[in-house]
């Protein structure tokens, strides 16, 4: 008997998240090795100036959340370009926004394990107060929302995988490593501070650094960092929902 | 409102690009698929089959014309169409890091089936596709044919009202192809409708109840494989390599089709000995067989289905 299904917003989100989570968990090597860059950077910091370790540890957590955008970008592009599975899933009752968000949640679920390892290491080595924990959680959430939404959007712009890799690498390293994420905001000269406060990874890092006393932020600067991160996170997320619906058709 | 499973009227599609000349992929395709039918779109590579399927499955907008799926316009009301369809994409692959069992099961869950129903359908589809033995192996370790079977299993498990299959048996061995054909026949008996594209003539003949031959974005002919063969005017095909010089006299024996260096003569059993004798006198070899869809295709399109532009 043929069965028709109704279409609802975010329909299939949970199931598709679980699908993507299974995919990620089967790639355990990639999950384990995702820690390497952070560990290497932490090692450098420890050798050069171990007093900066608290900043670098929180930076590593935030960078890990930001880097999930690159993973979403590569996964979405690979699934579309190489596997053509977007056609299988989107020409069906699964809502396009559930496809985008489910993929992002699945990737998050898989990579939560190394991120929690970093959180545990931070807690053990430098301690995490309740205020810091709450700010870290909110900042990480905003950063993740921005990164995975942006990553999904970028994934739809390319037609072959070889082109997408270098762009992904440039973007995520340029904005995740270069600004004050692994090092204190105070290392940036005054006129550049507002720039750091509107770039999502360094805005998130500035907020966390403020809670641990490594960044002196005026109320205006606090509002700028928190406001821009919230706006960028929510704005790109809403745009990604719109974009995921629009790009179901490949000639949209 | 129509009750046809699929009704396409004058569907056109032109791919425009700033860097390259525009390409007219569909130049006015009209066709109908009745509920419960198995219909094949037959054509050479680049004929427009996949473009049509993408438009019908809401993945592409037509430049002109309309496609209705169970009365809903695929262009303007895709959200009504999508729950009623399932698609095997051309050259699609399952998630490399899922097993076939996980692939089918999770896809059914994403379509809204509850766990028990999804599990039962998964096992049934894997069994039909002969994948039970490899059901717990990651797809990355499977052969190309097994991956393709996983894709087909994923879609047939849905029993969606309308299934689109774009070259569903590509890369499969003969046994697997027959298993797919049998599963698709079962699905239509149970109420689903199937539109598939293929450039395998035997597949179109064995599987479809009707077929459309498409060439350069146009439907050239439609009908059953039997009627298309009947129109050739004979039941036997005599193939004569390098037989070009016999083409004039061969016309007295029946239809003559020229496929590059091979002359095909469609004739009757009564005229066969005479034609064979003629070829022998000219020191030409001959191959004799029953008329197939290949000759019908050659007559309609003017070239073999395997020949590229």
Whether A85 sits inside 8 A of B86 (CB atoms) is no
Across the strands, what pairs with B68? B7, B73
Per-residue model confidence (pLDDT) at position A2: 56
Whether A2 sits inside 8 A of B159 (CB atoms) is yes
CA closest to A27 among chain B residues: B97
Please answer whether residues B257 and B246 qualify as being in contact, where contact means their C-beta atoms are separated by less than 8 angstroms: no
Sort B209 into a burial class: Cβ within 10 Å, 0-12 / 13-18 / 19+: middle
**Complex-level ipTM:** 0.89
Q: Which of B113, B172, B45 is nearest to A11 (CA)?
A: B113
CB atoms within 10 A of CB B1: 7
Distance from CA of B103 to the nearest CA of A (A): 8
Q: SS3 of B249, please?
A: helix
pLDDT at A5 over 90: no
CA closest to B109 among chain A residues: A15
Across the strands, what pairs with B213? B42, B221
Whether residue A5 is contained in a domain is answered as no
- Residue B34 touches chain A, beta carbons under 8 Å: no
Whether A84 sits inside 8 A of B90 (CB atoms) is yes
Residue among A5, A26, A252 minimizing CB distance to B138: A26
Average pLDDT over residues A144-152: 97
Q: Which of A141, A143, A131, A147 is nearest to A208 (CA)?
A: A131
Q: Which residue has the tokens 């699964």?
A: A94
Dump pLDDT digits (tens) for A71-103. Answer: 999 999 999 999 999 999 999 999 999 999 999
Q: What Cα–Cα distance (Å) separates residue B114 from each residue in B56, B108, B161?
A: 28, 8, 18
CA closest to B112 among chain A residues: A12
Distance from CA of B102 to the nearest CA of A (A): 8
Which residue range(s) make up the domain with A153? Answer: 13-246
Whether A84 sits inside 8 A of B98 (CB atoms) is no
Per-residue model confidence (pLDDT) at position A189: 80
Distance from CA of A63 to the nearest CA of B (A): 26
Q: DSSP labels for A3-15?
A: ------TTTTHHH
pLDDT at A50 over 70: yes
**How many domains would you assign to chain A?**
1
Pick the CATH number of B6-228 from 3.40.50.1000, 3.40.50.970, 3.90.78.10, 3.40.50.300: 3.40.50.300
If pLDDT is split at 50, 70 and 90, which confidence band does A252 have?
Answer: low
Whether residue A44 is contained in a domain is answered as yes
Token digits for A174? Answer: 């340029």
Q: SS3 of A189, please?
A: coil
Q: What Cα–Cα distance (Å) separates residue B146 from each residue in A24, B153, B184, B191?
A: 22, 10, 17, 27
Q: Which residue has the tokens 């295709």?
A: B297
pLDDT at A175 over 60: yes
Domains of chain B, residue spans: 6-228, 233-290
Distance from CA of B82 to the nearest CA of A (A): 4
Which residues in chain B touch residue A250, judged by CB atoms under 8 angstroms apart?
54, 59-60
Q: How far apart are CA B191 and CA B216, in angstroms?
A: 32
Q: How far apart are CA B66 and CA B176, in angstroms?
A: 35
Per-residue model confidence (pLDDT) at position A166: 82
Which residue pairs from B302-305 have beta carbons closer than 8 angstroms and sit at least 24 positions apart in sequence?
B303/B44, B303/B259, B304/B259, B304/B260, B305/B42, B305/B43, B305/B44, B305/B199, B305/B201
Average pLDDT over residues A210-219: 95
Whether B94 sits inside 8 A of A85 (CB atoms) is yes
The answer to which of A9-23, A114-128, B207-221, B230-244 has the lowest mean pLDDT is: B230-244
Annotation: CATH topology of B233-290: Alpha-Beta Plaits (3.30.70)
Per-residue model confidence (pLDDT) at position A250: 79
The answer to which of A19-28, A55-64, B208-217, B258-267 has the lowest mean pLDDT is: B258-267
Task: Give chain A's mean pLDDT.
Answer: 93
Q: How far apart are CA A221 and CA A235, in angstroms?
A: 20
Average pLDDT over residues A241-248: 95
Per-residue model confidence (pLDDT) at position A102: 97
CB atoms within 10 A of CB A209: 27
Q: Which of A210, A220, A230, A52 is nearest to A139 (CA)?
A: A230
Q: Please compute Rg for chain B using Cα positions.
A: 22
Please answer whether residues B9 and B30 qualify as being in contact, where contact means their C-beta atoms are separated by less than 8 angstroms: yes
Which pTM value belongs to this model? 0.90
Across the strands, what pairs with B27? B12
> Would you give per-residue pLDDT tens digits along chain B (309 residues)?
558 999 999 999 999 887 888 999 999 999 999 999 999 999 998 999 999 999 999 999 999 999 999 999 999 999 999 999 999 999 999 999 999 999 999 999 999 999 999 999 999 999 999 999 999 999 999 999 999 999 999 999 999 999 999 999 998 999 999 999 999 999 999 999 999 999 889 999 999 999 999 999 999 999 999 999 888 888 899 999 988 888 888 889 888 888 777 888 998 889 999 999 999 998 999 999 998 888 888 888 887 777 666
Which residues in chain A touch residue B84, judged by CB atoms under 8 angstroms apart?
4-5
Q: How far apart are CA A77 and CA A82, in angstroms?
A: 8
CA closest to A102 among chain B residues: B110
Distance from CA of B7 to the nearest CA of A (A): 18
Across the strands, what pairs with B259? B262
Whether residue A136 is contained in a domain is answered as yes
Which residues in chain A touch residue B83, judged by CB atoms under 8 angstroms apart?
4-7, 92-93
Across the strands, what pairs with A45? none
CA closest to B81 among chain A residues: A92
Per-residue model confidence (pLDDT) at position A7: 59
Cβ within 8 Å of B, A 79-108 = 79, 82-85, 87-94, 98, 102
CA closest to A13 among chain B residues: B110
Residue among A1, A11, A24 minimizing CB distance to B112: A11
Whether A7 sits inside 8 A of B82 (CB atoms) is yes
Q: How far apart are CA A5 and CA A161, in angstroms?
A: 34
Q: How far apart are CA A243 and CA A251, in angstroms?
A: 13
Token digits for A108? Answer: 């998050």
Which residues in chain A touch residue B151, judged by CB atoms under 8 angstroms apart?
88
Distance from CA of A62 to the nearest CA of B (A): 27
CA closest to A88 among chain B residues: B87
Residue among B15, B110, B159 minimizing CB distance to A89: B110
CA dihedral A177→A238→A252→B42, nearest 10 degrees, is 90
Across the strands, what pairs with B222? B212
Which residues in chain A touch residue B111, judged by CB atoms under 8 angstroms apart?
5, 12, 92-94
Q: How far apart are CA A159 and CA A165, in angstroms?
A: 12
Distance from CA of A6 to the nearest CA of B (A): 6
Distance from CA of B208 to the nearest CA of A (A): 19
CB atoms within 10 A of CB A226: 21
């Amino acid at each position: 008997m043929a069965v028709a299904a109704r279409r609802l917003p975010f329909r299939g989100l949970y199931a598709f998240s679980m699908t993507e989570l299974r995919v990620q968990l089967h790639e355990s090597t990639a999950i384990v090795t995702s820690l390497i860059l952070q560990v290497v950077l932490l090692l450098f910091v420890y050798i050069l100036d171990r007093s900066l370790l608290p900043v670098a540890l929180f930076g590593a957590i935030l960078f890990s959340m930001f880097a999930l955008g690159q993973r979403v970008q590569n996964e979405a592009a690979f699934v579309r370009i190489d596997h053509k599975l977007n056609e299988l899933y989107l020409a069906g009752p699964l809502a396009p926004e559930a496809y985008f968000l489910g993929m992002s949640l699945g990737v998050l679920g898989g990579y939560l394990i190394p991120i929690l390892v970093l959180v545990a290491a931070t807690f053990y080595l430098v301690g995490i107060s309740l205020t810091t924990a709450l700010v870290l959680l909110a900042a990480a959430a905003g950063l993740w929302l921005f990164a995975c939404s942006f990553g999904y959007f970028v994934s739809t712009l390319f037609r072959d995988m070889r082109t997408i890799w270098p762009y992904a690498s440039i973007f995520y390293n340029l904005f995740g490593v270069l600004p004050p994420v692994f090092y204190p905001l105070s290392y940036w000269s005054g006129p550049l501070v507002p720039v750091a406060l509107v770039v999502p990874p360094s805005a998130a890092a500035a907020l966390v650094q403020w809670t641990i006393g490594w960044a002196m932020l005026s109320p205006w600067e606090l509002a700028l960092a928190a406001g821009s991160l919230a706006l960028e996170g929510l704005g790109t997320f809403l745009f990604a929902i719109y974009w995921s619906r629009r790009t179901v058709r490949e000639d949209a | 409102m129509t009750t046809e499973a699929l009704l396409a009227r004058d569907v056109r599609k032109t791919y425009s690009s700033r860097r390259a000349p525009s390409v007219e992929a569909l130049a006015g395709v009209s066709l109908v698929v009745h509920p419960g039918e198995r219909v094949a779109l037959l054509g050479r590579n680049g004929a427009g089959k996949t473009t049509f399927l993408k438009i019908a499955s809401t993945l592409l907008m037509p430049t002109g014309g309309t496609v209705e799926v169970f009365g809903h316009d695929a262009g303007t009301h895709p959200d009504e169409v999508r729950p009623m369809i399932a698609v095997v994409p051309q050259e699609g692959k399952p998630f490399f890091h899922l097993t076939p069992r996980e692939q089918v099961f999770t896809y059914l869950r994403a379509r809204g089936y509850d766990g028990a129903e999804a599990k039962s359908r998964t096992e049934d589809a894997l069994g039909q596709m002969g994948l039970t033995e490899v059901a717990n192996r990651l797809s990355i370790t499977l052969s190309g044919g097994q991956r393709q079977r996983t894709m087909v299993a994923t879609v047939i498990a849905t029993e969606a009202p309308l299934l689109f299959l774009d070259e569903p048996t590509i890369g499969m061995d003969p046994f697997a192809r027959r298993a797919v054909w049998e599963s698709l026949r079962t699905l239509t008996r149970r109420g689903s409708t199937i539109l598939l594209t293929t450039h395998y003539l035997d597949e179109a003949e064995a599987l479809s109840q009707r077929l459309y031959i498409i060439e350069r974005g146009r439907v050239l002919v439609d009908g059953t494989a039997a009627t298309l063969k009947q129109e050739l005017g004979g039941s036997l095909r005599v193939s004569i390599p390098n037989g070009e010089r016999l083409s004039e006299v061969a016309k007295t024996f029946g239809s003559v089709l020229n496929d590059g260096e091979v002359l095909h003569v469609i004739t009757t059993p009564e005229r066969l000995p005479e034609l064979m004798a003629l070829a022998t006198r000219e020191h030409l070899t001959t191959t004799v067989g029953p008329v197939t869809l290949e000759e019908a295709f050659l007559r309609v399109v003017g070239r073999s289905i395997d020949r590229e532009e």
